[in-house]
A and B are shown apart, each in its own frame.
Chain A
Amino acid sequence: AQSVTQLDSQVPVFEEAPVELRCNYSSSVSVYLFWYVQYPNQGLQLLLKYLSGSTLVESINGFEAEFNKSQTSFHLRKPSVHISDTAEYFCAVTARGGYQKVTFGTGTKLQVIP
């Protein structure tokens, strides 16, 4: 089984400042990793994913995450946040090689302060 830990439940940050949302996972098998974003009163949207290849993956709106196998981490970063980035961010993991369930972390609320 897989599990995900997001230690920070809330992260306040000023607009145009950098941010890092932390995610650590646990698994006895190889995994795929994801970040989903949930804007207020909306569903879950895929932000970015790591399946294979380059350990650094990027989204179209400036977020990036780096898969670090030795530290079992997949932290999400953005060099300069905008008000519109205010949302809840969920790290998620699934085992490779099958259509297995995706396990979510508890989420991190990013609050961008003007």
Chain B
Amino acid sequence: EPEVTQTPSHQVTQMGQEVILRCVPISNHLYFYWYRQILGQKVEFLVSFYNNEISEKSEIFDDQFSVERPDGSNFTLKIRSTKLEDSAMYFCASRETDISANVLTFGAGSRLTVL
């Protein structure tokens, strides 16, 4: 079954450092999303991306965050200068183009620990 792949599975970084989380969505999907889950809390929407631009973003997704689709397969989330409160599990998701399906498929997540 097709799956969304995320790397790294776990990254530890120092406060103030830049982090890039990578995602390979399912090949025929065109809509991409990033969510995060702080330990023990709810899954929160960060950003959605379609046709090489952001279609929606939450208030969490401030200027420290950016997303990019640098080539035909990868979808990245960059945090420019990490803060302690950025420690969370980050989930990438993609959605197929058939609107009747309307289901997000999630990756296994990238755990970010900021020290």
Contact = CB atoms under 8 A, between A and B. Distances in A.
A74 to B, nearest CB: 15
Contacts of A25: none
A46 B107 CA distance: 11
Contact of B104 (A97, A98, A102, A106): A102
Tier of interface size on chain B: 20 to 34
Contacts of A102: 33, 45, 93, 104
Interface stretch (B12-20, B48-56, B69-77, B78-86): B48-56
A101 B46 CA distance: 9
B43 A43 contact: no
Contacts, number: 55
Contacts of A36: 106
Interface string B31-54: 101010000011111001010000
A51 B41 CA distance: 27
Given A49-B103, A94-B102, A101-B56, A43 B42 contact: no
Contacts of B93: 102
B33 A101 contact: yes
Q: Tell me what chain A mostly uses at the interface: helix, strand, loop, or mixed.
A: loop
A96 B93 CA distance: 18
Contact of A101 (B41, B45, B91, B105): B45
B61 to A, nearest CB: 11
B43 A104 contact: yes
Contacts of B31: 99
Interface centre among B42, B50, B93, by most A CB within 10 Å?
A: B42
B95 interface: yes
Interface of A: 32, 34, 36, 42-46, 49, 51, 90, 94, 96-107
